[in-house]
C-alpha cells in the first residue's frame, strides 16, 4: 500500500483546444485521488484547455517557452520541477514534450516514464533521419511508449526502429454520457437553420491535416442539388482566413457557417443530419468518436486509424482521402436516403463508440503505471 498518492506529471507542448489536450483533460478528471495526484506542465502557454484544467482543481504550470530549436532551458526547468515536486511518474505527449520530458525525467531518476504518441507520421519528409534517430534514442530511455492506435504503433515500429513489445496501444477514451443523442431543434433555431433544410457538419482545427478544403469542394458540388444545404463548422486555426477565402472563391459563403471554437459540441452535433470527417492523416480522432457517440451517421476518410474505429458500412461510410467527388457522393447518398436509414446508421455508430470508454482508458493507464513501478521494485530486490 502507498502512504500517499503518487505524484504524476503530464508534460504537453501547449493547451489550446485540440484532441490531445481535450483527452488529457478527461483523464485528469478521472484519476483515482487515492492513488494519483496529477500536475500538468505546458511548455508554452495556458490556452483554453489549460483554463479548464485549473477549473477542475488541477495545478498547471506554464513555462511560456518560445518557438525554436532545441530548448535546454525548458529541460532544466522540467528537471527542477520534477525534483521540487517529488514526481514519481512522468507522462509526456508528442514529440518535443517526449524529448524534453524524457531527458529531464532520467536526469532526475524518475521511476516511471511513459511517452505518448498521438499521431502517425504525415509524409516521408516527416520521417527524416534526424527525427528518427532522436526518437530511437529517446524511446530506449523511457519505460513504455503508448500509441493511441495500431496505426500509430505500426509507424513507430516501422520508422523509429523500436521493438513492438515496447509500444502499447491504448485507445483514446470518450466521455460517452456527455454525447448522448439530443433533439437538434433548439440548436438549429439558435443558428437560424430551418428544420427542413439539410445540415452537415464537422469539428476540427483549421489545419491541412484535416482535409477541410475537400469538404468545401464537396459542398460546392452538392449545391446544385441541395441549394439550401448548410455546413456548420466548429473550430479555428492558422488556416481560417485561407479556408474562408476558398469558401468565397467557390461561391458557397451562404452555405457555410464558421462557428469558431465551441464548448457546446454535443448540442452542435444534434443540429447535424450527417457528420463529415475528411482528414488526411490521424492518430485516433476524438471528434469522430464524439459524433458517433451522439448517434450521428458519419462519413470519414478511408485511412488506417479510422478503419480501426469504423469497421463496417453499418457504422459509417469511408471514402478515399483528398477525393471531393467521392465525398460529395457519400453525403448525397445519406441526404437522399430516408431518416430511418440515417437513424439506423447513427445507432450502430453509437453502439460502436461504446468500445472507446474514457473510464477504461484511465484504468488501463493506471494498471500500466502500477506494472512499471512494481517491475522496478522487484528489480531492486
The pLDDT tens digits of the residues spanning 87-115 come to 999 999 998 999 999 999 999 999 999 99
Give the rounded percent of residues in the chain with a pLDDT score beyond 70.
Answer: 97
Q: How many CA within 13 A on the CB side of residue 161?
A: 11
| CATH class given for the domain over 6-173+357-380 | alpha beta
Residue 130: predicted pLDDT: 66
Higher pLDDT, 381 or 30: 30
User: pLDDT digit string (tens) for 141-197?
Assistant: 899 999 999 999 998 998 888 889 999 999 999 999 899 899 999 999 999 999 999
Domain boundaries along the sequence of the chain: 6-173+357-380, 176-353
CATH 2.170.150.70 at 176-353, yes or no = no
Q: Read off the pLDDT band of 245 (50, 70, 90).
A: very high
Q: Is the pLDDT of residue 127 over 70?
A: no
Looking at the whole model, is its pTM more than 0.85?
Answer: yes
80 backbone dihedrals φ, ψ, rounded to 5° = -65, -40
Whether the domain at 6-173+357-380 and the domain at 176-353 fall into the same CATH topology = yes
Cα–Cα distance, 325 to 349 (Å, whole number): 24
Burial class (CB in 10 A: 0-12, 13-18, 19+), 258: middle
Residue 381: predicted pLDDT: 61
- State the average pLDDT over residues 266-273: 97
What residues have CB less than 8 Å from 238, skipping those under 6 apart? 206, 207
Amino acid at each position: 500500500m502507498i502512504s500517499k498518492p503518487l505524484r504524476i506529471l503530464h508534460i504537453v507542448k501547449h493547451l489550446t483546444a485540440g484532441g490531445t489536450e481535450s483527452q488529457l483533460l478527461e483523464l485528469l478528471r478521472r484519476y483515482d485521488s487515492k492513488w494519483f495526484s496529477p500536475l500538468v506542465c505546458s511548455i508554452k502557454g495556458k490556452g483554453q484547455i489549460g483554463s479548464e484544467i485549473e477549473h477542475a482543481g488541477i495545478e498547471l504550470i506554464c513555462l511560456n517557452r518560445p518557438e525554436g530549436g532545441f530548448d535546454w532551458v525548458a529541460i532544466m526547468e522540467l528537471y527542477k520541477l520534477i525534483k521540487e515536486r517529488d514526481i514519481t511518474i512522468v507522462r509526456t505527449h508528442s514529440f518535443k514534450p517526449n524529448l524534453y520530458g524524457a531527458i529531464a525525467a532520467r536526469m532526475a531518476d524518475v521511476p516511471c516514464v511513459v511517452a505518448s504518441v498521438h499521431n502517425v507520421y504525415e509524409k516521408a519528409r516527416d520521417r527524416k533521419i534526424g527525427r528518427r534517430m532522436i526518437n530511437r534514442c529517446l524511446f530506449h530511455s523511457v519505460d513504455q511508449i503508448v500509441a493511441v492506435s495500431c496505426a500509430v504503433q505500426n509507424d513507430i515500429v516501422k520508422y523509429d526502429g523500436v521493438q513492438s513489445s515496447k509500444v502499447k496501444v491504448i485507445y483514446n477514451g470518450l466521455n460517452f454520457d456527455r454525447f448522448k443523442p439530443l433533439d437538434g431543434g433548439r440548436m438549429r433555431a439558435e443558428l437560424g437553420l430551418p428544420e427542413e433544410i439539410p445540415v452537415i457538419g464537422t469539428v476540427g482545427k483549421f489545419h491541412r491535416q484535416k482535409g477541410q478544403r475537400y469538404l468545401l469542394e464537396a459542398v460546392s458540388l452538392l449545391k446544385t442539388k441541395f441549394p439550401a444545404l448548410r455546413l456548420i463548422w466548429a473550430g479555428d486555426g492558422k488556416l481560417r482566413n485561407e479556408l474562408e477565402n476558398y469558401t468565397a472563391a467557390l461561391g458557397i459563403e451562404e452555405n457555410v457557417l464558421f462557428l469558431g471554437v465551441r464548448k457546446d459540441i454535443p448540442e452542435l452535433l444534434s443540429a447535424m443530419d450527417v457528420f463529415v470527417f475528411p482528414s488526411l492523416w490521424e492518430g485516433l480522432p476524438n471528434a469522430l468518436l464524439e459524433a458517433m457517440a451522439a448517434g450521428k451517421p458519419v462519413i470519414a476518410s478511408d485511412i488506417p486509424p479510422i478503419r480501426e474505429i469504423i469497421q463496417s458500412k453499418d457504422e459509417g461510410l469511408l471514402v478515399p482521402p483528398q477525393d471531393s467527388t467521392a465525398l460529395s457522393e457519400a453525403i448525397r447518398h445519406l441526404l437522399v436516403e430516408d431518416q430511418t436509414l440515417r437513424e439506423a446508421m447513427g445507432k450502430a455508430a453509437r453502439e460502436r463508440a461504446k468500445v472507446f470508454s474514457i473510464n477504461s482508458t484511465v484504468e488501463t493507464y493506471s494498471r500500466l503505471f502500477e506494472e512499471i513501478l512494481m517491475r522496478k521494485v522487484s528489480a531492486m530486490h
